[in-house]
Protein backbone atom coordinates (compact mmCIF):
# COMPACT_ATOMS: atom_id res chain seq x y z
CA UNK A 1 0.00 0.00 0.00
CA UNK A 2 1.63 3.23 -1.18
CA UNK A 3 -0.27 5.24 1.40
CA UNK A 4 -3.30 4.75 3.59
CA UNK A 5 -6.36 6.52 2.22
CA UNK A 6 -10.13 6.18 1.93
CA UNK A 7 -12.61 7.07 -0.82
CA UNK A 8 -15.70 7.82 1.34
CA UNK A 9 -17.80 7.31 -1.80
CA UNK A 10 -20.56 5.68 0.22
CA UNK A 11 -22.04 6.12 3.65
CA UNK A 12 -20.10 4.06 6.18
CA UNK A 13 -22.06 0.87 6.69
CA UNK A 14 -21.09 0.08 10.28
CA UNK A 15 -18.80 1.63 12.89
CA UNK A 16 -18.01 -0.87 15.68
CA UNK A 17 -18.00 0.30 19.28
CA UNK A 18 -14.69 1.91 20.13
CA UNK A 19 -13.83 2.89 16.54
CA UNK A 20 -14.14 6.06 14.43
CA UNK A 21 -13.61 7.04 10.79
CA UNK A 22 -9.99 8.00 10.14
CA UNK A 23 -9.46 11.76 10.15
CA UNK A 24 -7.27 13.58 7.63
CA UNK A 25 -4.70 14.43 10.30
CA UNK A 26 -4.50 10.77 11.36
CA UNK A 27 -4.03 9.63 7.75
CA UNK A 28 -1.13 12.08 7.36
CA UNK A 29 0.48 10.82 10.57
CA UNK A 30 0.23 7.18 9.47
CA UNK A 31 1.62 7.91 6.00
CA UNK A 32 4.49 10.01 7.39
CA UNK A 33 5.52 7.69 10.22
CA UNK A 34 4.10 4.18 9.92
CA UNK A 35 3.24 3.22 6.33
CA UNK A 36 6.52 1.28 5.92
CA UNK A 37 5.84 -0.58 9.19
CA UNK A 38 2.37 -1.53 7.94
CA UNK A 39 3.64 -2.78 4.57
CA UNK A 40 6.50 -4.76 6.10
CA UNK A 41 4.19 -6.33 8.67
CA UNK A 42 1.62 -7.23 5.99
CA UNK A 43 4.31 -8.93 3.87
CA UNK A 44 5.72 -10.80 6.87
CA UNK A 45 2.29 -11.93 8.06
CA UNK A 46 1.26 -13.07 4.58
CA UNK A 47 4.46 -15.04 3.92
CA UNK A 48 5.22 -16.48 7.36
CA UNK A 49 1.99 -16.65 9.39
CA UNK A 50 -1.25 -16.37 7.40
CA UNK A 51 -3.25 -19.63 7.25
CA UNK A 52 -0.48 -21.45 9.14
CA UNK A 53 -0.21 -23.22 12.49
CA UNK A 54 2.97 -22.31 14.38
CA UNK A 55 4.05 -24.67 17.17
CA UNK A 56 6.11 -23.31 20.06
CA UNK A 57 7.83 -25.92 22.27
CA UNK A 58 8.73 -24.26 25.56
CA UNK A 59 10.06 -25.01 29.00
CA UNK A 60 7.20 -24.99 31.52
CA UNK A 61 8.83 -25.36 34.95
CA UNK A 62 10.64 -28.71 34.59
CA UNK A 63 8.51 -30.07 31.75
CA UNK A 64 8.24 -29.46 28.02
CA UNK A 65 4.97 -28.00 26.76
CA UNK A 66 3.65 -27.08 23.33
CA UNK A 67 1.62 -24.05 22.27
CA UNK A 68 0.02 -24.26 18.81
CA UNK A 69 -1.15 -20.94 17.38
CA UNK A 70 -3.45 -20.74 14.36
CA UNK A 71 -2.75 -17.53 12.45
CA UNK A 72 -5.72 -16.71 10.21
CA UNK A 73 -6.01 -13.87 7.71
CA UNK A 74 -9.05 -12.71 9.67
CA UNK A 75 -6.82 -12.08 12.73
CA UNK A 76 -4.57 -9.61 10.90
CA UNK A 77 -6.69 -6.41 11.30
CA UNK A 78 -7.08 -7.05 15.05
CA UNK A 79 -3.30 -7.02 15.40
CA UNK A 80 -3.03 -3.88 13.30
CA UNK A 81 -5.78 -2.07 15.21
CA UNK A 82 -7.86 -0.96 12.25
CA UNK A 83 -10.79 -2.04 10.08
CA UNK A 84 -11.89 -1.38 6.52
CA UNK A 85 -15.51 -0.41 5.93
CA UNK A 86 -17.51 -2.89 3.81
CA UNK A 87 -14.63 -5.38 3.90
CA UNK A 88 -14.49 -8.61 5.90
CA UNK A 89 -11.60 -9.08 8.37
CA UNK A 90 -10.04 -11.78 6.16
CA UNK A 91 -9.91 -9.34 3.21
CA UNK A 92 -7.92 -6.54 4.87
CA UNK A 93 -4.52 -8.22 4.45
CA UNK A 94 -4.92 -8.75 0.69
CA UNK A 95 -6.34 -5.23 0.31
CA UNK A 96 -3.18 -3.75 1.82
CA UNK A 97 -0.88 -5.98 -0.23
CA UNK A 98 -2.75 -5.14 -3.44
CA UNK A 99 -3.06 -1.41 -2.70
CA UNK A 100 -6.85 -1.56 -2.71
CA UNK A 101 -8.38 1.62 -1.28
CA UNK A 102 -11.34 1.00 1.07
CA UNK A 103 -14.45 3.12 1.38
CA UNK A 104 -13.40 4.06 4.93
CA UNK A 105 -10.62 3.24 7.37
CA UNK A 106 -11.75 2.77 10.98
CA UNK A 107 -9.28 3.42 13.82
CA UNK A 108 -9.55 2.75 17.55
CA UNK A 109 -10.72 5.61 19.74
CA UNK A 110 -8.15 4.90 22.46
CA UNK A 111 -5.25 5.63 20.07
CA UNK A 112 -3.81 2.12 20.53
CA UNK A 113 -3.77 1.77 16.72
CA UNK A 114 -0.77 4.11 16.63
CA UNK A 115 0.96 2.32 19.52
CA UNK A 116 0.60 -0.98 17.67
CA UNK A 117 2.01 0.53 14.46
CA UNK A 118 5.08 1.82 16.32
CA UNK A 119 6.04 -1.72 17.35
CA UNK A 120 5.31 -3.61 14.12
CA UNK A 121 8.98 -3.82 13.11
CA UNK A 122 9.53 -6.29 15.95
CA UNK A 123 6.95 -8.76 14.61
CA UNK A 124 9.53 -10.93 12.82
CA UNK A 125 11.21 -11.59 16.18
CA UNK A 126 8.17 -13.64 17.21
CA UNK A 127 9.67 -16.45 15.14
CA UNK A 128 13.05 -16.30 16.87
CA UNK A 129 13.83 -18.85 19.59
CA UNK A 130 14.90 -16.24 22.14
CA UNK A 131 11.33 -14.94 22.36
CA UNK A 132 9.18 -16.03 25.32
CA UNK A 133 5.80 -17.57 26.17
CA UNK A 134 3.88 -15.81 28.97
CA UNK A 135 0.86 -17.49 30.54
CA UNK A 136 0.16 -16.09 34.02
CA UNK A 137 -1.42 -12.62 33.86
CA UNK A 138 -3.19 -12.78 37.22
CA UNK A 139 -1.30 -9.70 38.43
CA UNK A 140 -1.50 -7.69 35.20
CA UNK A 141 -4.89 -5.98 35.33
CA UNK A 142 -4.72 -4.45 31.85
CA UNK A 143 -4.37 -7.88 30.23
CA UNK A 144 -6.54 -9.79 32.70
CA UNK A 145 -9.53 -7.58 31.78
CA UNK A 146 -9.24 -8.71 28.16
CA UNK A 147 -9.84 -12.33 29.17
CA UNK A 148 -6.83 -13.60 27.21
CA UNK A 149 -5.01 -16.82 27.95
CA UNK A 150 -1.35 -16.48 26.96
CA UNK A 151 1.05 -14.47 24.84
CA UNK A 152 4.24 -14.53 22.80
CA UNK A 153 6.76 -11.83 23.69
CA UNK A 154 9.25 -10.78 20.99
CA UNK A 155 12.92 -11.37 21.72
CA UNK A 156 13.62 -7.62 21.85
CA UNK A 157 10.75 -7.16 24.35
CA UNK A 158 9.13 -4.43 22.25
CA UNK A 159 6.00 -6.30 21.19
CA UNK A 160 3.63 -8.95 22.48
CA UNK A 161 0.99 -10.99 20.65
CA UNK A 162 -1.88 -11.85 23.00
CA UNK A 163 -3.64 -15.18 22.42
CA UNK A 164 -7.15 -16.45 23.02
CA UNK A 165 -8.33 -20.07 23.22
CA UNK A 166 -11.56 -21.00 21.47
CA UNK A 167 -13.36 -24.30 20.95
CA UNK A 168 -13.89 -23.53 17.27
CA UNK A 169 -10.52 -22.15 16.13
CA UNK A 170 -8.07 -23.33 18.81
CA UNK A 171 -5.50 -20.80 19.99
CA UNK A 172 -5.57 -17.63 17.87
CA UNK A 173 -3.88 -14.20 17.98
CA UNK A 174 -6.37 -11.73 19.45
CA UNK A 175 -4.39 -8.54 19.99
CA UNK A 176 -0.99 -6.90 19.70
CA UNK A 177 0.57 -4.69 22.37
CA UNK A 178 3.45 -2.25 22.29
CA UNK A 179 5.46 -3.09 25.42
CA UNK A 180 7.06 0.35 25.49
CA UNK A 181 3.76 2.10 26.22
CA UNK A 182 2.92 3.16 29.76
CA UNK A 183 4.03 0.91 32.59
CA UNK A 184 3.11 -2.38 30.91
CA UNK A 185 6.71 -3.57 30.63
CA UNK A 186 7.20 -2.98 34.37
CA UNK A 187 4.03 -4.93 35.18
CA UNK A 188 5.28 -7.87 33.12
CA UNK A 189 8.54 -8.04 35.07
CA UNK A 190 6.92 -10.37 37.62
CA UNK A 191 5.26 -12.63 35.03
CA UNK A 192 7.23 -15.89 34.65
CA UNK A 193 8.86 -16.19 31.23
CA UNK A 194 8.75 -19.63 29.66
CA UNK A 195 11.82 -20.20 27.50
CA UNK A 196 11.11 -21.27 23.92
CA UNK A 197 13.22 -24.25 22.85
CA UNK A 198 11.98 -24.70 19.30
CA UNK A 199 9.53 -23.23 16.80
CA UNK A 200 7.87 -25.41 14.17
CA UNK A 201 5.31 -25.04 11.41
CA UNK A 202 2.60 -27.59 10.72
CA UNK A 203 2.55 -28.76 7.12
CA UNK A 204 0.58 -31.16 4.95
CA UNK A 205 2.39 -33.35 2.45
CA UNK A 206 0.48 -33.53 -0.81
CA UNK A 207 0.83 -35.18 -4.20
CA UNK A 208 -0.62 -33.42 -7.23
CA UNK A 209 -1.91 -35.31 -10.27
CA UNK A 210 -4.11 -34.87 -13.33
CA UNK A 211 -7.44 -36.70 -13.41
CA UNK A 212 -9.14 -38.15 -16.49
CA UNK A 213 -10.42 -34.66 -17.38
CA UNK A 214 -6.90 -33.20 -17.18
CA UNK A 215 -7.84 -31.25 -14.05
CA UNK A 216 -5.36 -30.88 -11.20
CA UNK A 217 -6.17 -32.82 -8.05
CA UNK A 218 -4.32 -33.25 -4.76
CA UNK A 219 -4.02 -36.16 -2.34
CA UNK A 220 -3.09 -35.50 1.29
CA UNK A 221 -0.35 -37.87 2.46
CA UNK A 222 -0.56 -36.75 6.07
CA UNK A 223 0.62 -34.02 8.40
CA UNK A 224 4.19 -33.14 9.18
CA UNK A 225 6.25 -30.33 10.69
CA UNK A 226 8.98 -28.05 9.46
CA UNK A 227 11.53 -26.53 11.81
CA UNK A 228 11.57 -22.72 11.83
CA UNK A 229 14.05 -22.07 14.64
CA UNK A 230 15.84 -24.00 17.41
CA UNK A 231 17.17 -22.48 20.64
CA UNK A 232 20.76 -23.78 20.50
CA UNK A 233 21.54 -22.32 23.91
CA UNK A 234 19.47 -25.17 25.38
CA UNK A 235 19.25 -27.77 22.59
CA UNK A 236 22.84 -29.04 22.39
CA UNK A 237 22.67 -32.84 22.14
CA UNK A 238 20.83 -35.45 20.03
CA UNK A 239 18.85 -36.34 23.16
CA UNK A 240 17.70 -32.73 23.51
CA UNK A 241 16.59 -32.70 19.88
CA UNK A 242 14.77 -36.02 20.33
CA UNK A 243 12.88 -34.57 23.30
CA UNK A 244 11.65 -31.72 21.11
CA UNK A 245 10.67 -34.17 18.39
CA UNK A 246 8.68 -36.31 20.82
CA UNK A 247 6.63 -33.31 22.00
CA UNK A 248 5.83 -32.27 18.43
CA UNK A 249 5.07 -35.85 17.33
CA UNK A 250 2.67 -36.33 20.24
CA UNK A 251 0.90 -33.12 19.21
CA UNK A 252 0.64 -34.29 15.60
CA UNK A 253 -0.82 -37.64 16.61
CA UNK A 254 -3.36 -35.93 18.86
CA UNK A 255 -4.35 -33.44 16.13
CA UNK A 256 -4.68 -36.18 13.52
CA UNK A 257 -6.90 -38.23 15.83
CA UNK A 258 -9.13 -35.21 16.48
CA UNK A 259 -9.48 -34.62 12.73
CA UNK A 260 -10.52 -38.24 12.26
CA UNK A 261 -13.12 -37.95 15.02
CA UNK A 262 -14.55 -34.84 13.35
CA UNK A 263 -14.84 -36.65 10.03
CA UNK A 264 -16.68 -39.69 11.47
CA UNK A 265 -19.83 -37.75 12.53
CA UNK A 266 -19.85 -36.08 9.12
CA UNK A 267 -19.77 -39.46 7.40
CA UNK A 268 -22.49 -40.80 9.68
CA UNK A 269 -24.54 -37.70 8.98
CA UNK A 270 -24.18 -38.28 5.26
CA UNK A 271 -25.24 -41.89 5.68
CA UNK A 272 -28.23 -40.91 7.80
CA UNK A 273 -29.33 -38.28 5.34
CA UNK A 274 -28.93 -40.54 2.31
CA UNK A 275 -32.14 -41.05 0.41
CA UNK A 276 -33.62 -44.52 0.59
CA UNK A 277 -34.14 -46.08 -2.81
CA UNK A 278 -37.47 -47.78 -3.37
CA UNK A 279 -37.40 -50.45 -6.07
CA UNK A 280 -40.56 -51.31 -7.91
CA UNK A 281 -40.65 -54.85 -9.33
CA UNK A 282 -42.77 -55.79 -12.30
CA UNK A 283 -45.08 -58.69 -11.16
CA UNK A 284 -44.25 -60.51 -14.38
CA UNK A 285 -40.51 -60.41 -13.64
CA UNK A 286 -40.71 -63.31 -11.15
CA UNK A 287 -42.49 -65.53 -13.65
CA UNK A 288 -39.98 -64.64 -16.37
CA UNK A 289 -37.05 -65.37 -14.06
CA UNK A 290 -38.49 -68.75 -12.97
CA UNK A 291 -39.12 -69.73 -16.60
CA UNK A 292 -35.50 -68.96 -17.52
CA UNK A 293 -34.23 -70.95 -14.55
CA UNK A 294 -36.34 -73.96 -15.62
CA UNK A 295 -35.04 -73.69 -19.18
CA UNK A 296 -31.45 -73.69 -17.87
CA UNK A 297 -32.10 -76.47 -15.33
CA UNK A 298 -31.39 -74.16 -12.39
CA UNK A 299 -34.76 -74.27 -10.63
CA UNK A 300 -34.78 -76.05 -7.28
* Confidence check: pLDDT of 220 > 80: no
For the chain, helix, strand, coil in percent to 5 are: 40, 30, 35
pLDDT mean across residues, the chain: 84
User: Poorest-confidence range of 112-116, 188-192, 294-298?
Assistant: 294-298
Q: What is the structure's pLDDT at 68?
A: 93
* pLDDT-derived band at 190, boundaries 50, 70, 90: confident
How large is the C-alpha radius of gyration of the chain? 28
Whether the CB-CB separation of 243 and 64 falls below 8 Å is answered with yes
* Confidence check: pLDDT of 105 > 60: yes
Residues of the chain with pLDDT > 90, as a percent, come to 56
| CA–CA dist 203, 248 (Å, integer) | 12
| CA–CA dist 6, 23 (Å, integer) | 10
| CA–CA dist 89, 174 (Å, integer) | 13
* Confidence check: pLDDT of 274 > 90: no
Beta bridge partners of 219: 207
Amino acid sequence: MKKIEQTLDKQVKYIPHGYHIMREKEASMINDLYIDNINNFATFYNEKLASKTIDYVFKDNHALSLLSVNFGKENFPHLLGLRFDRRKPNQVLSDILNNKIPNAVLLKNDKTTFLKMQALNSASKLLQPDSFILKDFSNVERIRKLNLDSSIESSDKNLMILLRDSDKDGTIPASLMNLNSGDLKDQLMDVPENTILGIFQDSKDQVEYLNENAKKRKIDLGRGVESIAINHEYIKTPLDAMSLGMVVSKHLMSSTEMEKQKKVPELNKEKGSAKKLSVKIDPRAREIALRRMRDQGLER
